[in-house]
């Protein structure tokens, strides 16, 4: 057992607040760190102590390891919670924390490092019995090797960056004649973006769904899963909304995906909360994509349908405790949907920072809002544009959609543009309501919306 009396939260925005709420419930003191641009941020106001760690730019503040470690030393914290983004998946940061005798709330640095290398993650998962797509076992050396693998797996195929993830630096190749040039482009892009030109090849699935399994594992090899999240609806590899459970997964598929993930965690010695991302094919087969070793933006939908507090479990595991419940104790109840509210122009998807002149948070049964903004707050232009998460829960998916529609109506944010109107339109979409969608949903949706608009203009 490790005593954790005080935690430094190395993050900002809604997730810093979210982590703080659980710390308060656990009687753990909190230290906020913030940039010069975040002096008026909510996470600063609610923390027991706050330290400025640098100027507005993330590179000099929320990514500044020496400044964060110094803040942790000065305030004498027992642990650091990294949240998501920033340093959450930096094995270097996790190692430095460990060397400074500060508990990093997350898995071991070696595991973070391994999952950061998508080729190694694929190999490890295959060895642990997780289904992967046919593809290259190692980074592609040259065009000859790429051609050889393409012969084995066929077209279309996808080239992905080993150091990538989240969709950056991917190329789809549909014909042999484009393979060599696309390989070169992919390698050059990977080198420019990640300082590592390694790429690998997989069979391409045309209309997949993105389904992920939440796991919790203690430091003694015990692991459970909390079911899945449906994360298919994305735009430019940014998730827009998530739900739990998936409208298409059967109990059998859930059990299969969950037990595969749990077994893999036990095999590799995973600890803390984690997420297995899977691609679900139209024929019902699923394949490992990536593993996230952090708390995720969309964790609330899992919390809603399982009644688990994932941050609470992360802290318990970090204290060296065993899991507080067994797989048999996990029950999925009802349906939850989360809409990400971004400070963005919903048509152009460009950032819309500025002062929030009017603000109302919806309430009532089955509604949760995770946010760090408040009336008269000025949304700074330097960071991620997500300013709130609106989460609802109801007995059924239909009920959750109805609840989300009224909650979106009652969610008022004035002074800046937000994605609220976009979410209203998605909730009204027939394909969405039927649960009939793939990763191409947003492209098809935007096209249909544009057509509607043109028709309306023409009839005027």
Binding site for ligand MV4 (CB under 6 A): 133, 158, 166-167, 202-205, 208, 210, 234, 237, 279, 289-290, 439
Task: Report, in Å, the least distance between residue 14 CB and ligand MV4.
Answer: 22
Nearer to ligand MV4, 45 or 207 (CB): 207
In whole angstroms, give the CA distance from residue 119 to residue 411: 42
Nearer to ligand MV4, 205 or 310 (CB): 205
With beta carbons less than 8 A apart as the criterion, state whether 379 and 373 touch. yes
Q: Considering beta carbons, is residue 30 or 275 the nearer one to ligand MV4?
A: 275
- The residue among 282 and 414 lying less far from ligand MV4, judged by its C-beta, is 282
Which residues lie closer than 8 Å to 344 by C-beta, 6 or more apart?
350, 351, 352, 385, 417, 418, 419
User: Which residue, 406, 401, 371, is CA-closest to 389?
Assistant: 371
For residue 305, give Cα distances in angstroms to 338, 356, 394.
12, 32, 9
Q: Which is closer to ligand MV4, CB of 121 or CB of 308?
A: 121
Nearer to ligand MV4, 10 or 205 (CB): 205
Shortest distance in whole angstroms from residue 212 CB to ligand MV4:
10
Distance separating alpha carbons of residues 261 and 131, to the nearest angstrom: 10
C-beta of 398: minimal distance to ligand MV4 in Å? 24
Question: Smallest Cα–Cα separation from 226: which of 214, 218, 217?
Answer: 214
Give the residue carrying structure tokens 């090797």: 145
How many whole angstroms separate alpha carbon 286 and alpha carbon 258?
12
What are the helix (H) ranges across 128-205?
A: 143-153, 179-194
Neighbours of 6 (CB within 10 A): 18
How near is the Cβ of 230 to ligand MV4 at its closest, in Å? 11
Minimum CB separation from ligand MV4 for residue 364, in Å? 31
Active-site amino acid positions: 294
- CA–CA distance, 241 with 297 (Å, rounded to integer): 10
Please answer whether residues 114 and 87 qualify as being in contact, where contact means their C-beta atoms are separated by less than 8 angstroms.
Answer: no
In the complex, the smallest distance separating the C-beta of residue 168 from ligand MV4, rounded to whole angstroms, is 8
Compare residues 49 and 196 and give the one whose CB is closer to ligand MV4.
196
Give the DSSP H/E element, type plus range, for residue 79.
Answer: strand 79-81
Cα 85 to Cα 11, 37, 131, 314, 353: the distances in Å are: 8, 18, 27, 17, 20
Give the separation between CA 113 and CA 131, rounded to whole angstroms.
Answer: 21
Angle 352-354-360 from CA coordinates, rounded to 5°:
95
Please state the φ and ψ torsions of residue 459, each to the nearest 5 degrees.
-80, -10
Residue with tokens 């106001």: 45
Cα distance between residue 229 and residue 191, in whole Å: 32
Count of CA atoms in the C-beta half-sphere (13 A) of 223: 26
> How far apart, in whole angstroms, are the C-alpha atoms of residue 233 and residue 432?
9
The least distance separating ligand MV4 from the CB of residue 85, rounded to whole angstroms, comes to: 16
Residue 289 or 379 with smaller CB distance to ligand MV4: 289
Q: Please, what is the minimum distance in Å from the beta carbon of residue 277 to ligand MV4?
A: 6
């Amino acid at each position: 057992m490790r005593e954790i009396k005080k935690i430094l939260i190395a993050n900002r925005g809604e997730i810093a607040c979210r982590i703080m709420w659980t710390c308060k419930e656990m009687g753990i003191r909190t230290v906020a760190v913030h940039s010069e641009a975040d002096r008026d941020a909510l996470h600063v106001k609610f923390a027991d102590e706050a330290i400025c760690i640098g100027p507005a730019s993330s590179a000099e503040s929320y990514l500044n390891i020496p400044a964060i470690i110094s803040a942790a030393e000065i305030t004498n914290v027992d642990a650091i919670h990294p949240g998501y983004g920033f340093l959450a998946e930096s094995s270097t940061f996790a190692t430095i924390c460990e060397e400074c005798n500060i508990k990093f709330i997350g898995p071991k640095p070696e595991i973070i490092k391994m999952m950061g290398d998508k080729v190694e993650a694929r190999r490890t998962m295959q060895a642990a019995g997780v289904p992967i797509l046919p593809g290259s076992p190692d980074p592609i050396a040259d065009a000859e090797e790429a051609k050889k693998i393409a012969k084995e797996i066929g077209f279309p195929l996808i080239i992905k960056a080993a150091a990538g993830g989240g969709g950056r630096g991917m190329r789809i190749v549909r014909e042999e004649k484009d393979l060599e040039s696309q390989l070169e482009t992919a390698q050059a892009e990977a080198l420019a973006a990640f300082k590592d030109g390694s790429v690998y090849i997989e069979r391409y699935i045309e209309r997949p769904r993105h389904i992920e399994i939440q796991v919790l594992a203690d430091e003694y090899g015990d692991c459970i899963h909390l079911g899945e999240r449906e994360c298919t609806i994305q735009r430019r590899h940014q998730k827009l909304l998530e739900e739990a459970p998936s409208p298409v997964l059967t109990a059998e598929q859930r059990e299969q995906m969950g037990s595969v993930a749990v077994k893999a965690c036990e095999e590799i010695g995973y600890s803390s909360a984690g997420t297995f991302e899977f691609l679900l094919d139209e024929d019902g087969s699923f394949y490992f994509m990536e593993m996230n070793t952090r708390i995720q933006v969309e964790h609330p939908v899992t919390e809603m349908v399982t009644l688990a507090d994932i941050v609470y479990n992360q802290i318990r595991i970090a204290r060296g405790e065993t899991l507080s419940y067994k797989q048999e104790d996990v029950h999925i109840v009802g349906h939850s949907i989360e809409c990400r509210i971004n400070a963005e122009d919903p048509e152009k998807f460009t950032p819309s920072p500025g002062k929030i002149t009017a603000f109302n948070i919806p309430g009532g049964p089955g509604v949760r809002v995770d946010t760090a903004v408040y009336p008269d707050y000025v949304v700074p232009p330097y960071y991620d544009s997500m300013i709130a998460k609106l989460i609802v829960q109801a007995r059924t998916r239909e009920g959750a959609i109805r609840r989300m529609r009224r909650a979106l109506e009652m969610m008022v944010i004035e002074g800046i543009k937000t994605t609220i109107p976009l979410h209203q339109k998605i909730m009204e979409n027939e394909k969405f309501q039927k649960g009939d969608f793939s990763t191409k949903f947003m492209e098809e949706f935007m096209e249909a919306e544009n057509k509607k608009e043109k028709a309306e203009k023409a009839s005027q």
